[in-house]
Structure 1
Amino acid sequence: MDQGNTAFLLIMAALVLLMTPGLAFFYGGLVKAKSVISMMMMSFGAIGLIGVLWVLYGYAIAFPGAEGLVAPWSIDWSAIGLTSLLEVPEDAAFPPLAFVAFQATFAIITVALISGAIADRAKFGAWMIFAAIWATIVYFPVASWVFNFGLADDGSFAYGGWTTFGMQEAFGVGVIDFAGGTAVHINAGAAALALALVLGKRVGFSKGAHVPHNPPFVLLGAGLLWFGWFGFNSGSELAADGTAALAWVNTLAAPAAALLAWLIVEKIKDGKPTSVGAASGAVAGLVAITPACAALTPGWAIVLGLIAGAVCALAIDLKFKFGFDDSLDVVGIHLVGGLIGTLYLGFFANNTGLIYSGDPTQLMVQAIAAFTVLIYSFVLAFAIGWVIQKTIGFRITNEDELAGVDTAVHGEDAYKLETV
């Protein structure tokens, strides 16, 4: 066993876990002061809930081994509760549980991302029920499609999900999604759009009506997300090597470029570059580089960041044009950014992209995977959310929304002002 790679993977897993509290601060700063506890609790609730489900059966669904090729819905029953993974094979590069831990943090952050679309108006209990069902029938299977693969000694696919092995067998190239552009960001963004439609608009929804109550929280959250994202992307190599180093550099370059592009668009559109815009731009760049971080040269990573920052800065206004209340721009940043990063690889991926090979096949398989995950996640998330809304109710009352979700749902206030 390689203790260096084991330490690397466990440290990367810890970095990715930190992203969810970082997301809580990012989202918490964007909502109004009377909703910050509710917003942050949805992220922390995801840590508790998905952490338990992953150990109980999530890993067994997402990583059924070679059986996942034949039956994507199959379960590795021996991995239920992870007891079969306690022993470390003699030839293993790292303990199986190190990989389990790393992938658990992906499941947690993906679920937490969705919550930004329903800020200010969701019941906590309903959110937890949705999260459990969505993770079980959407995230765990989609993770199997994308991340469940094995390699033969010659480096070719030995088995895998349909986006990797299946596409490789059918078209000669598999989907490139190094760290989760489809499985994490498109998946979460599509579910966020579905829930925004199910819950409807906030009271008084209009452009400029809801402003962030705490931009320093937003910047703190973005910083923690960016820090953890180095684990997200570099750790996906599962080894401390040159590919991990490339992913690290691209995870610096693309978000930095996206931050600048977002601020330029803000300046042109609104006359002022904002701190919230800087944070949002960085996150948009991080989203876009996630699938591409190991398959682009740093120069093309910068170009991707510029495109993602500019396009996402414009895309966040789609909710006003089309009339859906995506409270914290999960659709505009994660769905749009995830699509940009995934499809960009069809043109600029090292060796197989269109500009290198002259062959559009890579673009085709990227598009197939991206839109399959989008449709699958949207349809099932809408169905789950609709059933919850029609039964126990997903949305709080208008009166509780105006009074403040924190008090109505959690019986707490984020800020206590004491008078002497």
Structure 2
Amino acid sequence: MYASTLLFAAGVSAQCISSTAYQGAAVAAPGGNVDLTTCAFGGEYSPATGLVGANTYTITGTGGAGNYLTITNTSNTVIQHGLSPRVLTGYTGDIRVHVHTNAACGTESACHTLNVATAGAPPPPCGGTTCAYTLRLTDSYGDGWNGATMQIREGTSVIATVGGTFTTGLGPVDVSVPNLCNGTAYNLYWSAGGSYPTEVGIQLIDPFGTSLYIKPPGTGSALTQLYAFSASCTPPTCAPVSGLSASNTGATSASVNWTCASCSGSFIVEYGAPGFTPGTGLTAGAGGTVATTTAVAPYALTGLTGGSNYTVAVRQNCGGTFSTNQTANFTTPPGCGSNFYDSGGPAGNYLNNENQTITICPDVPGDVVTVTFSLVDFEACCDFLTVYDANTATGTPTAISTGSTPTFTANNPSGCLTFTWSRTSPWPTKVGPLQ
């Protein structure tokens, strides 16, 4: 390449104009940048088109023995000059970026990269209203996700990937996913299970604090879509409830409570196994059961099964329009005459690194609980099962040995027995049932 150079002024005030052009490009939108060229020789120029006066542009040259830049219009009228970088604002139209090695208009046959960065936030990806959703990450053991990742996707296009930096602790760790487009369909996809997928928990929360989806540890499968939703950036006209919880759980019932200071409608209470999709309006979702459409808080949820995990969802009926669902998880203790198993159920293995406390109380006040083990089989070195004659894990514990089949009867005013079960390493064995 050959370049001719005109020297208009010497020293630090030099204006070095080149006559040979090499490559060029249109400038980027706010928040972006573009290389005009990656190999302009010292003594050449590259054109940049489409500048807007309201924007600020940072023009840099790198490579070669030095980068002295002269910015001109397309008629080679000098706008500014000096060492890289140069900042240009208030200019509309096209420019030329001339590069030399120094203020003496030095030339060389070495590559220089000329870049123009446009300041400002990028435009909304959908050209309209956007908002941020939150993914709340938890780990049941307390050592982070161990390589597990989740993705927000539009169809199969990945919008955001989370979990890679969650390397320690129980959580919760909240990760914001910005710039989701109002009205656009997205999905939550479990992209990598990591070393301990059964420990992974996640919750999807909309911009207004409503919990849309909860995946407890031990549920769901890696490399599958967990939940589908349409982003909504408009504050709801029908307010969701807050503070949803389930307490006073018995073998067949639980007290479901919530608050909603601005609510004036009635409430729909729906429940199902963890991971079910709550419905809309008065209709149950896949795997859900509508318990009532006219609930008031607190609501006594009945007809449950002892020793089972549940998710409860509550939404407000605002005269034919409905709020989004709020959800909460709870577990019922086993009832009299029922079986109680570890997390693997009657046929599977229990989860790695479990740490559970289970209290079993009589259905009728004044009665006492009797628990009989029909099978105890675990790793003696690393797994621990104890019982407390109390309604909490207090007092003097009694250790239960692998291979034994003991029977315990409560001898305390509550009539309850409390069991703690923990393990420190994975091992495919079973504990249970208790009845």
TM-score clears 0.5? no
Higher normalized helix content (fraction of residues): 1
Q: Which has the larger radius of gyration?
A: 2
User: Hey, which of these two has a bigger chunk of strand by percent?
Assistant: 2
Q: So what's the TM-score if we normalise by structure 1?
A: 0.25
**TM-score w.r.t. length of structure 2:** 0.25
Higher relative contact order (CA 8 A, sep 6+): 1
